[in-house]
Amino acid sequence: MKQLKIGVIIIGIVLMLFFLKIATNKDDQNLGSGYYFLPNYEAIDVGYPYGNLIYKSNNKNYFDIILIRSDIKNVNYNDQFIIVYQEPNKKLALKEISNMLILWNNYYNEIKRDSLINLEYEKVSLSDINKMIGGKNSEQITRITDSIFSSEESYKKVFANKYNYYIIDKVNNTISEPLSLKEFNKKKKEKNIDLEFVELSD
């Protein structure tokens, strides 16, 4: 009887600690103010094939505005700021460019109607994408993809450094350019950001 009481007490303590942990656990995907982190395991679950990312949206797992792409290694946040450490992934960036070109070209061939769409680097018409890659084989599409990656300013900025650091101001809805560690630390000090990196589970 005494052992049973001890067992019940132990189970009670374990359950209390478990629920306390849940109650105090910081959601590492909801970064506040409509900003979210999509970890790799979740990207696989929702069918997003380009790794983890930081995005802004009215709803979780709706990628209205993608702010920072893979590979995100560390992130932390408070009520006003999000800090992000990224090791940009060229392989995934090239894969995304290529897949988007093929997807939109197929869509154009299906609907036979032109419209403007947002690619990562600029607004472009479906007919221009069709002229660019229509009838091309995979090797030619790879060369076109490489050319876009090498020439577009947005990719040049992200891939200029092996590592990038970002500061997102949630109050003003602004994001810094990719920063070096020195630039990042300077801006943190200027903005009085009291945050250090905490690696997110991936």
Residues 81 and 32 in one domain: yes
**Letter string b/e over residues 141-158, b meaning 16 or more CB atoms within 10 A of that residue's CB:** beeebeebbeeeeebeeb
Residues 176 and 136 in one domain: no
Q: Percent of the chain, pLDDT > 90? A: 71
Give the domain extent around 130.
91-157
Residues 70 and 126 in one domain: no
Does the pLDDT at position 13 exceed 60? no
CB 93 within 8 A of CB 149: yes
Residues 147 and 108 in one domain: yes
Confidence of residue 119 (pLDDT cuts 50, 70, 90): confident
DSSP state at residue 6: H
Residues 143 and 169 in one domain: no
- Residue range 73-107, pLDDT digits in tens: 999 999 999 999 999 999 999 999 999 999 999 99
Residues 179 and 153 in one domain: no
Does the pLDDT at position 3 exceed 80? no
Q: What is the mean pLDDT of residues 104-118?
A: 93
- Residue range 154-176, pLDDT digits in tens: 999 999 999 999 999 999 999 99
Confidence of residue 21 (pLDDT cuts 50, 70, 90): very low
Phi, psi of 148 (to 5 degrees): -60, -45
Structurally, how many domains does the chain consist of?
2
Which pLDDT value is given to residue 199? 59
Residues 83 and 164 in one domain: yes
- 184 within domain boundaries: yes
Window from 38-52, 87-101, 177-191 with minimum mean pLDDT: 38-52
Window from 7-11, 34-38, 65-69, 175-179 with minimum mean pLDDT: 7-11
Residues 60 and 146 in one domain: no
CB 112 within 8 A of CB 83: no
Confidence of residue 62 (pLDDT cuts 50, 70, 90): confident
Which pLDDT value is given to residue 15? 42
Residues 62 and 151 in one domain: no
- 140 within domain boundaries: yes
Residues 99 and 84 in one domain: no
> Residue 84 and residue 86: Cα distance in Å, rounded?
6
**Averaged pLDDT of the chain:** 85
Which pLDDT value is given to residue 201? 55
